[in-house]
Amino acid sequence: MQKYPRVDAHLVIGEEIVGVNPKINNLIRPFRLAKHDTLWVLDSNVFTSNQALANAIQSLTNPPRHRPTGLVHHLPFAIQAGDNLGSQIEQVYLCSTHARMYLSINWLSITSCVTGKSCLYRRSDLERAAEKKRRGGKGLVLADGEGGLAAFGKYLGEDNMIGLAIWDDLGMRHVLGNDVAGNVVGNMSFRSFFNRRVRWIRVRKYMVT
Protein backbone atom coordinates (compact mmCIF):
# COMPACT_ATOMS: atom_id res chain seq x y z
CA MET A 1 0.00 0.00 0.00
CA GLN A 2 2.94 2.34 0.67
CA LYS A 3 4.47 1.40 -2.67
CA TYR A 4 1.23 2.17 -4.58
CA PRO A 5 -0.48 4.96 -2.60
CA ARG A 6 -2.84 5.86 -5.48
CA VAL A 7 -4.40 2.39 -5.49
CA ASP A 8 -7.66 2.28 -3.55
CA ALA A 9 -6.70 -0.47 -1.09
CA HIS A 10 -7.55 -1.20 2.53
CA LEU A 11 -6.08 -3.65 5.04
CA VAL A 12 -8.84 -5.44 6.95
CA ILE A 13 -7.77 -7.20 10.15
CA GLY A 14 -9.95 -9.38 12.34
CA GLU A 15 -12.55 -12.05 11.93
CA GLU A 16 -16.31 -12.23 12.22
CA ILE A 17 -17.79 -15.58 13.17
CA VAL A 18 -20.29 -16.68 10.52
CA GLY A 19 -19.61 -20.42 10.70
CA VAL A 20 -17.12 -23.11 11.68
CA ASN A 21 -14.72 -22.30 8.84
CA PRO A 22 -11.94 -19.99 10.13
CA LYS A 23 -10.89 -18.93 6.63
CA ILE A 24 -14.37 -17.67 5.78
CA ASN A 25 -14.57 -15.98 9.18
CA ASN A 26 -11.42 -14.06 8.18
CA LEU A 27 -12.64 -13.29 4.67
CA ILE A 28 -16.23 -12.25 5.32
CA ARG A 29 -15.49 -8.62 6.20
CA PRO A 30 -13.32 -7.88 3.12
CA PHE A 31 -15.84 -9.84 1.04
CA ARG A 32 -18.55 -7.40 2.08
CA LEU A 33 -16.31 -4.36 1.60
CA ALA A 34 -15.05 -5.32 -1.86
CA LYS A 35 -16.05 -2.68 -4.43
CA HIS A 36 -15.80 -4.87 -7.52
CA ASP A 37 -17.36 -8.13 -8.63
CA THR A 38 -14.21 -10.13 -9.38
CA LEU A 39 -12.50 -11.54 -6.30
CA TRP A 40 -9.10 -13.23 -5.94
CA VAL A 41 -8.78 -15.36 -2.82
CA LEU A 42 -5.10 -16.10 -2.23
CA ASP A 43 -3.81 -17.82 0.92
CA SER A 44 -1.18 -15.93 2.92
CA ASN A 45 1.41 -18.72 2.55
CA VAL A 46 1.22 -18.76 -1.26
CA PHE A 47 3.69 -17.22 -3.71
CA THR A 48 2.97 -17.00 -7.41
CA SER A 49 4.13 -15.08 -10.47
CA ASN A 50 3.60 -11.36 -11.03
CA GLN A 51 1.44 -12.21 -14.05
CA ALA A 52 -0.82 -14.71 -12.26
CA LEU A 53 -3.68 -12.28 -11.61
CA ALA A 54 -3.67 -10.83 -15.13
CA ASN A 55 -3.57 -14.33 -16.61
CA ALA A 56 -6.41 -15.49 -14.39
CA ILE A 57 -8.56 -12.48 -15.32
CA GLN A 58 -8.02 -13.27 -18.99
CA SER A 59 -9.06 -16.88 -18.42
CA LEU A 60 -12.17 -15.81 -16.51
CA THR A 61 -13.29 -13.34 -19.16
CA ASN A 62 -12.41 -15.26 -22.33
CA PRO A 63 -15.46 -16.02 -24.52
CA PRO A 64 -16.89 -19.43 -23.53
CA ARG A 65 -16.35 -22.45 -25.75
CA HIS A 66 -19.14 -24.60 -24.35
CA ARG A 67 -19.90 -23.27 -20.87
CA PRO A 68 -19.00 -19.89 -19.39
CA THR A 69 -16.10 -19.84 -16.94
CA GLY A 70 -17.06 -19.35 -13.31
CA LEU A 71 -13.79 -20.03 -11.49
CA VAL A 72 -10.05 -19.93 -12.18
CA HIS A 73 -7.68 -21.76 -9.84
CA HIS A 74 -4.04 -22.78 -9.68
CA LEU A 75 -2.16 -25.98 -8.93
CA PRO A 76 -0.77 -26.02 -5.36
CA PHE A 77 2.95 -26.81 -5.46
CA ALA A 78 5.12 -27.15 -2.36
CA ILE A 79 8.03 -24.75 -1.90
CA GLN A 80 10.39 -23.77 0.93
CA ALA A 81 10.01 -27.02 2.85
CA GLY A 82 12.02 -27.37 6.05
CA ASP A 83 14.35 -30.24 6.93
CA ASN A 84 11.81 -31.91 9.21
CA LEU A 85 10.49 -35.31 8.16
CA GLY A 86 6.91 -34.02 8.02
CA SER A 87 7.94 -31.11 5.80
CA GLN A 88 9.75 -33.39 3.37
CA ILE A 89 6.81 -35.82 3.13
CA GLU A 90 4.36 -32.95 2.64
CA GLN A 91 6.50 -31.58 -0.19
CA VAL A 92 6.68 -34.98 -1.89
CA TYR A 93 2.92 -35.48 -1.49
CA LEU A 94 1.94 -32.08 -2.92
CA CYS A 95 4.41 -32.31 -5.81
CA SER A 96 3.59 -35.89 -6.83
CA THR A 97 0.43 -37.74 -5.74
CA HIS A 98 -1.71 -34.67 -5.18
CA ALA A 99 -0.44 -32.84 -8.27
CA ARG A 100 -1.04 -35.87 -10.51
CA MET A 101 -4.60 -36.31 -9.24
CA TYR A 102 -5.33 -32.59 -9.45
CA LEU A 103 -4.02 -32.20 -12.99
CA SER A 104 -5.73 -35.37 -14.23
CA ILE A 105 -9.21 -34.54 -12.95
CA ASN A 106 -9.03 -30.97 -14.23
CA TRP A 107 -7.73 -32.11 -17.63
CA LEU A 108 -10.61 -34.58 -17.96
CA SER A 109 -13.11 -31.94 -16.71
CA ILE A 110 -15.41 -34.61 -15.33
CA THR A 111 -16.25 -32.77 -12.13
CA SER A 112 -15.13 -29.92 -9.90
CA CYS A 113 -11.67 -30.35 -8.37
CA VAL A 114 -10.55 -27.15 -6.65
CA THR A 115 -8.09 -26.36 -3.88
CA GLY A 116 -8.61 -22.94 -2.36
CA LYS A 117 -4.98 -21.83 -2.31
CA SER A 118 -5.61 -19.46 -5.23
CA CYS A 119 -9.12 -18.96 -6.63
CA LEU A 120 -10.61 -16.23 -8.80
CA TYR A 121 -14.38 -15.90 -9.18
CA ARG A 122 -17.18 -13.37 -9.32
CA ARG A 123 -19.05 -12.37 -6.19
CA SER A 124 -22.29 -12.26 -8.19
CA ASP A 125 -21.76 -15.89 -9.29
CA LEU A 126 -21.03 -16.98 -5.73
CA GLU A 127 -24.19 -15.31 -4.47
CA ARG A 128 -26.27 -16.87 -7.27
CA ALA A 129 -24.77 -20.30 -6.60
CA ALA A 130 -25.45 -20.08 -2.87
CA GLU A 131 -29.04 -19.01 -3.42
CA LYS A 132 -29.66 -21.70 -6.02
CA LYS A 133 -28.18 -24.41 -3.81
CA ARG A 134 -30.39 -23.31 -0.93
CA ARG A 135 -33.44 -23.65 -3.14
CA GLY A 136 -32.79 -27.29 -3.81
CA GLY A 137 -29.48 -27.53 -5.57
CA LYS A 138 -27.27 -30.58 -5.80
CA GLY A 139 -25.26 -32.00 -2.93
CA LEU A 140 -24.96 -30.74 0.63
CA VAL A 141 -27.16 -28.01 2.09
CA LEU A 142 -25.70 -24.59 2.87
CA ALA A 143 -26.11 -22.60 6.07
CA ASP A 144 -29.18 -20.46 6.62
CA GLY A 145 -28.94 -16.69 7.07
CA GLU A 146 -26.53 -14.52 5.09
CA GLY A 147 -25.87 -15.60 1.51
CA GLY A 148 -22.76 -15.38 -0.63
CA LEU A 149 -19.50 -16.42 1.01
CA ALA A 150 -21.01 -16.70 4.50
CA ALA A 151 -23.35 -19.47 3.35
CA PHE A 152 -20.32 -21.72 2.80
CA GLY A 153 -18.97 -21.14 6.34
CA LYS A 154 -20.87 -24.20 7.49
CA TYR A 155 -18.18 -26.46 6.02
CA LEU A 156 -14.42 -26.70 6.61
CA GLY A 157 -13.82 -27.54 2.95
CA GLU A 158 -15.27 -24.31 1.57
CA ASP A 159 -13.13 -24.56 -1.57
CA ASN A 160 -14.74 -27.85 -2.52
CA MET A 161 -18.24 -26.54 -1.79
CA ILE A 162 -17.74 -23.30 -3.75
CA GLY A 163 -16.31 -25.22 -6.69
CA LEU A 164 -19.19 -27.69 -6.70
CA ALA A 165 -21.81 -24.94 -6.40
CA ILE A 166 -20.38 -23.04 -9.40
CA TRP A 167 -19.90 -26.25 -11.41
CA ASP A 168 -23.13 -28.09 -10.58
CA ASP A 169 -25.68 -25.44 -9.65
CA LEU A 170 -24.64 -22.75 -12.13
CA GLY A 171 -23.34 -25.07 -14.84
CA MET A 172 -20.17 -23.03 -15.22
CA ARG A 173 -16.78 -24.55 -15.94
CA HIS A 174 -13.48 -24.13 -14.13
CA VAL A 175 -10.14 -23.17 -15.68
CA LEU A 176 -6.83 -24.36 -14.25
CA GLY A 177 -4.42 -21.46 -14.73
CA ASN A 178 -0.95 -21.80 -16.25
CA ASP A 179 0.66 -20.37 -13.11
CA VAL A 180 1.18 -22.41 -9.95
CA ALA A 181 0.33 -21.58 -6.35
CA GLY A 182 3.65 -21.95 -4.53
CA ASN A 183 2.63 -23.27 -1.13
CA VAL A 184 5.21 -22.52 1.58
CA VAL A 185 5.51 -25.68 3.69
CA GLY A 186 7.95 -24.42 6.30
CA ASN A 187 8.77 -26.61 9.29
CA MET A 188 6.27 -29.41 9.89
CA SER A 189 6.73 -32.33 12.24
CA PHE A 190 5.66 -35.81 11.20
CA ARG A 191 2.86 -35.67 13.76
CA SER A 192 1.59 -32.41 12.25
CA PHE A 193 1.72 -33.94 8.77
CA PHE A 194 -0.13 -37.04 9.94
CA ASN A 195 -2.82 -35.07 11.79
CA ARG A 196 -3.32 -32.81 8.78
CA ARG A 197 -3.82 -35.76 6.43
CA VAL A 198 -6.26 -37.46 8.86
CA ARG A 199 -8.24 -34.23 9.24
CA TRP A 200 -8.67 -33.71 5.51
CA ILE A 201 -9.41 -37.37 4.83
CA ARG A 202 -12.29 -37.07 7.29
CA VAL A 203 -13.50 -33.86 5.68
CA ARG A 204 -13.43 -35.41 2.20
CA LYS A 205 -15.17 -38.54 3.44
CA TYR A 206 -18.24 -36.55 4.48
CA MET A 207 -18.16 -33.85 1.83
CA VAL A 208 -17.01 -35.55 -1.37
CA THR A 209 -17.91 -39.23 -1.18
The residues that are catalytic are 159
| Strands of 105-200, DSSP E | 118-122, 173-186
* Other beta carbons less than 10 A from residue 27's beta carbon: 22
Collect contacts of 6-12 with beta carbons under 8 A, ≥24 apart: 8/35
Rounded to whole angstroms, how far apart are CA atoms 163 and 127? 13
Rounded to whole angstroms, how far apart are CA atoms 42 and 116? 8
